[in-house]
Amino acid sequence: MSLKNVYKTASGAFGVDGYSFKQKNLLKRLDKLDNKGICQGLCLCHAGMAKQGIKFKGGGETGMHTLFEYANHAQQHFETMGNPDDLNGVTAMYNHLSRNFHLRIKTIREFSCAPGDVANMTQWAWGRAPGYFQILLPNHVVSFHLGDGVNYFDPNYGMSEFNTFNLFENFMGFYHTHPDFLTAYGLGHPMPSPRPVFVVGLE
């Protein structure tokens, strides 16, 4: 099973497919955008637009181009801080970002790469809701909102919505511990990345 199908299976079993998305395909159609680490910028869009009450959906080519320009701008600010692998470095990166965007860091915690930590991660975030959370994986970033409902975004595949936290927790337990997820995002075989996993809460 491809990771895309893993995502679709998890979304269909526990939530609603809110919006299909594939950053690599969209980047090919848009000029003058830096695709290096754009997932982190897109996740910032996901949080920033939600805070403004804007649906994370492109209104045709122009709307999508605007979204990617925002993401590219965000990513450029991330890049000025390098690629930190420690709690202080990640905190500094998001503090720097808050000076340029209407989001600020509220909380941050480092988790291990062990699949069993996924349940701890989701419970930790729930205890700090409402908020906008980003999970910094060894080689990818995903995002989710906790509020009246839950909204999850993987820039490679799309956005899913969940009516309850328990459904979201089940989704995370399936998707984030799946062997294909662990391999694709640097957490599994054959060579797990030594980089840690950070969860950053924004407000």
Q: What is the pLDDT of residues 139-174, one digit of tens each?
A: 889 999 998 789 999 988 988 999 999 999 999 999
Half-sphere exposure at residue 105, Cβ-oriented, CA atoms within 13 angstroms:
19
Q: What is the pLDDT of residues 15-74, one digit of tens each?
A: 887 667 666 666 655 555 555 667 877 888 788 778 877 776 654 444 556 666 666 666
pLDDT band at 14 (very low <50, low <70, confident <90, very high): very high
Give residue 191's identity as a one-letter amino acid code: M
pLDDT of 69 reads 67
CA dihedral (122, 134, 165, 162) positive or negative: negative
89-103, 162-176, 187-201: the lowest-pLDDT one? 89-103
pLDDT band at 124 (very low <50, low <70, confident <90, very high): very high
Average pLDDT value for the chain: 80
14-18, 90-94, 132-136, 145-149: the lowest-pLDDT one? 90-94
Q: What is the mean pLDDT of residues 73-88?
A: 66
Cα–Cα distance, 95 to 97 (Å, whole number): 5
Q: What is the pTM of this model?
A: 0.85
Distances (CA, A) of 162 to 128, 165, 167, 171: 18, 7, 6, 9
